Amino acid sequence: MEFEVKLTRTKYAKLLVVTLFRQRTVFIVAGLFILILIVSLVSKLPLYLSLVYLVGVTAAYGMSILNAVRTPRNRRYFVPKIFDFSSKGVTITTANVPQQMKWSDFTDIKKVSEFYILFVTKHTFIVIPQRSVPNTEITAFESLLYKNITRQRNKALRK
């Protein structure tokens, strides 16, 4: 099963936002905002303190996403790639240079929004937008991924 993947900066930013809202940190920050808001209302402290907190946190998260999208270190995500998935693993071809990865190289897979994220390590991953996979092959593609990557993760858990 072979197809081309072109991840745009906009799609990468969307992926970062979606994954951000799946982290516990965001809920802790939201809880702190609500706490500051309640304390401001009950103790008659200026309400603008909670608004300053909200604007500051939003700006910090926004800057970190903007930095991740613009940093040269992440340039490799935006280079068009050809993925060839087989029972042995994945061949990723970029600028006519193939890289072979075995299924055992992957530690986890997650489907987040409209993306498949194949993890090699906790911080190293391959992003495949769902729109890159032909509609007729989505079921076969997902079963190939979950069958091979889940099996590897389960083996690691038994050790």
Q: Give me the percent of the chain exceeding a pLDDT of 70.
A: 90
Q: Which residues of the chain have a pLDDT value below 70?
A: 21-23, 151-159
Question: What CATH class is the domain 2-6+79-158?
Answer: mainly beta
For residue 156, what pLDDT is reported? 46
Q: What does the alpha-carbon distance between residue 12 and residue 14 come to, in Å, rounded to a whole number?
A: 5
pLDDT digits (tens, 9 = 90+) for 24-41: 777 787 888 888 778 877
Instruction: For 100-113, give one letter per residue: b (16+ CB within 10 A) or e.
Output: eeebeebbbbeeee
Q: What is the pLDDT of residue 99?
A: 85
Q: What predicted TM-score, i.e. pTM, was given to this entire model?
A: 0.65
